[in-house]
Structure 1
């Protein structure tokens, strides 16, 4: 059975604009984010989906409400972004100033070093991968997932292979990363404003 997953990052927030780490902070999208969500609506206008999923954070739900106006969405808390604990709401420069030793350790080994009071990357990856398995087991052929960059990177790796570098996987706001499975093989393409 062919499956298509339309992956979308939430629209821009003021924390994005400032360059903050803000994983579990529950912030709204800004005006630019609303424009990006409306662009997603245009890109998805002629796409049939069986279900739309979001995280439990309002920036994904606000984006989905604009991108899929009138279409209900299901909230999956395991699609929440990784929590960054004491670093949330801070920029990289602010973190480096306040936590110089921990910051350098994290830069050297971001998948094994856990910032103060933060969620371990291994836990984050485990919960997202468990949710991916649950979604794959469902009957839906075409789904939309409005989530966070870290989550979308993990989905990409889970479906297309962990040989894809986590940091190199990009899902720009206002674009759709399309993952399509045919004959057990997943392939990736993008829908951008050039497709309108």
Structure 2
């Protein structure tokens, strides 16, 4: 099985470098072009199953890649909810939420941001999704999701320390190809969008 995972294209929140997951923003013009480029790369592939986050930016990206029916929208693919940190950049957090931010950075795995999620909560929902994928008996799967979720998928695949989350990046419209062979996932390739 091959799993093609695409991060959504650029958004205004990406440009502003804010912490955001639950904010339901749309793609910029550049983000739309990025999605179209990924669509070009994948146009020759017949997808047996397609999954997407609930967020507009992921859905808009997916529309440029896949025109078929039967897309399964799954909340487990939503980006982390940053709660009271949503839409704030680093400086704003230092100015307005210094205590909470410091607590979060000192306990980034377990600390649940007020009105948001902890990393462990996000990891557990991603793990649940990936465990279900293992049961699929299809050739090609497409997933359109978010950078933090893709890094969490890598962390799940590596099976070791959750600190592995910090050893990868996922840029807008990057394509990751994961393979499942003999009951094990592995990262086959990470392909940046050429833009």
Normalising by structure 1, report the TM-score: 0.89
Which 4+ runs in 1 deviate beyond 4 A? none
In the TM superposition, 1:165-176 aligns within 5 A as 165-176=164-175
Contact 1:26 1:57 survives alignment (8 Å): yes
Q: Which runs of 5+ in 2 are unaligned?
A: none
The aligned residue for residue 187 of structure 1 is 187
The aligned residue for residue 102 of structure 1 is 100
Matched length: 191
Contact 1:43 1:192 survives alignment (8 Å): no
CA distance in 1, matches of 2:192, 2:93: 34
* Cα deviation, residue 162, structure 1: 3.1
CA distance in 1, matches of 2:170, 2:145: 10
The aligned residue for residue 44 of structure 1 is 42
- RMSD over equivalenced CA pairs, Å: 1.7
Equivalent of 2:33 in 32, 35, 40 = 35
CA distance in 1, matches of 2:147, 2:45: 22
Contact 1:8 1:171 survives alignment (8 Å): no
The aligned residue for residue 116 of structure 1 is 114
* Cα deviation, residue 154, structure 1: 1.7
Contact 1:55 1:146 survives alignment (8 Å): yes
The aligned residue for residue 62 of structure 1 is 60
Look up the SS of the partner of 2:152 in the other structure.
helix
Deviates more, 1:26-35 or 1:168-177: 168-177
Q: Which runs of 5+ in 1 are unaligned?
A: none
CA distance in 2, matches of 1:131, 1:184: 15
Per-residue Cα deviation, 1:161-184 (whole angstroms, up to 9, x for no partner): 334710222222232111123334
Per-residue Cα deviation, 1:74-124 (whole angstroms, up to 9, x for no partner): 201111111111110111111111011111121222112222221122222
